[in-house]
Amino acid sequence: MGSATTHKAPTRGPERENARTRERTRNPERGTRNAEPGTGYTLEKMANVQHLKQRVCQAIDRRASELIETADWIHAHPEIGHQEVEASRRLSGMLQAAGIPVEMGTAGMATAFKAELGGKRAGRPRVAILAEYDALPGLGHGCGHNLIGTSAVGAGLALSEVVPELDGSIWVLGTPAEESAAPNSGGKVHMVNAGVFSDVDAAIMFHPGTETAVTMDRSLAARGFEFYFRGRAAHAAGAPEEGINALDAVVLLYNAISMLRQQVRSDVRIHGIILSGGAAANIIPDYAAIRYRTRSDDSEYLAEVVERVIACAEGAARATGCTLEWKEYMPGYENTMPNRVLLELMTENLRSLGVMVNNERRRSGRGSTDFGNVTRRVPGIEARVAITDHIEVPGHSIEFREAAGSDQGRQAMLWAAKGLAMTAVDLLTEPGHLKRARAAFEEDARKSPSPSGRGRG
Domains and CATH numbers, the chain: 19-219+335-447 (3.40.630.10), 221-333 (3.30.70.360)
**Cα separation of 427 and 434, whole Å?**
6
Task: Report the alpha-carbon distance of residue 72 to residue 140 in Å, rounded.
Answer: 12
| Cα 75 to Cα 49: distance, rounded to the nearest angstrom | 35
Q: CA 50, 51, 57, 62: dihedral to nearest 10 degrees?
A: 170
The identity of residue 43, as a single letter, is L
Query: What sign does the dihedral 45-436-117-152 (CA atoms) show?
Result: negative
Among 333, 385, 414, 374, residue whose Cα is nearest residue 128: 374
Q: What is the pTM of this model?
A: 0.86
pLDDT in tens, the chain (457 residues): 333 333 344 444 434 444 444 444 334 333 344 444 445 567 777 889 999 999 999 999 999 999 999 999 999 999 999 999 999 999 999 999 999 999 999 999 999 999 999 866 668 899 999 999 999 999 999 999 999 999 999 999 999 999 999 999 999 999 999 998 888 999 999 999 999 999 999 999 999 999 999 999 999 999 999 999 999 999 999 999 999 999 999 999 999 999 999 999 999 999 999 999 999 999 999 999 999 999 999 889 999 999 999 999 999 999 999 999 999 999 999 999 999 999 999 999 999 999 999 998 887 778 999 999 999 999 999 999 999 999 999 999 999 999 999 999 999 999 999 999 999 999 999 999 999 999 999 999 998 776 643 333 2
What's the DSSP call for residue 370?
A: T
Residues constituting the chain: 457
The two beta strands, 113-118 and 169-174, are antiparallel
The CA distance from 177 to 184, in Å, is: 8
Residues whose CB is less than 8 angstroms from the CB of residue 260 and which lie 6 or more positions away in sequence, other chains included: 270, 308, 309, 312
Cβ atoms of 379 and 202 within 8 Å: the answer is yes
* Residue 210 near residue 385 (C-beta atoms within 8 A): no
Quick one: which of 186, 450, 132, 178 has its CA closest to 331?
A: 186
Q: In what order do the strands lie in the sheet with 102-104?
A: 102-104, 113-118, 169-174, 126-131, 202-209, 380-386
Angle between helices 85-97 and 145-159 (to 10 degrees): 20
Task: Indicate if the alpha-carbon torsion angle 388, 390, 396, 399 is positive or negative.
Answer: negative
DSSP 8-state code for residue 282: T
